[in-house]
Chain A
Amino acid sequence: ELKVEQNPLFLSMQEGKNYTIYCNYSTTSDRLYWYRQDPGKSLESLFVLLSNGAVKQEGRLMASLDTKARLSTLHITAAVHDLSATYFCAVEETSGSRLTFGEGTQLTVNP
């Protein structure tokens, strides 16, 4: 059974600081996704990582994938309040198959 673990689960940081969220998974896969969820809302797709060494950046967020280590990271640069949300990583075992989600990281960025 595929397991996906995120850490930290809760992250409170100051504006302007940098931090990294980690996502470990238990089985071979080269398909990993990052999503953002605001309170009461559904999921917003952030990044699609489909190969070892993939790196994607959008604004203050950068995601990477190391399939050998079974690890993905979501790096936050110079955080701003608008980034406050819950971030989920999700692993897809094969193309077009089910997603297994991590527990989510609740990020709060304080002024």
Chain B
Amino acid sequence: QKEVEQNSGPLSVPEGAIASLNCTYSDRGSQSFFWYRQYSGKSPELIMFIYSNGDKEDGRFTAQLNKASQYVSLLIRDSQPSDSATYLCAVVPSGGYNKLIFGAGTRLAVHP
């Protein structure tokens, strides 16, 4: 079992729709969760982080965390073609305050 799992996609959504990206993790003691966006050929850029169960909203982005189910998601409202990228979920494992464990990423394609 991989430590952080994501559906590789591509996830295709029409412009203006809600894109829902999901991630599961195996380390129940993980405390910190991050979503990065990576455009092709570029480095990852941090979109959001979440530490507590529930929802956290930032503009068009909402991160959702459910520690009991070991599940974290990212919702993108009013998706735009410029949101087309690979979205990486990352977790700080228990006792591993010094590193991030990344999933392989989900490729999102927003079509006009």
Q: Report whether chain A binds chain B.
A: no
Measured CB to CB, the residues of B under 8 A from A are none
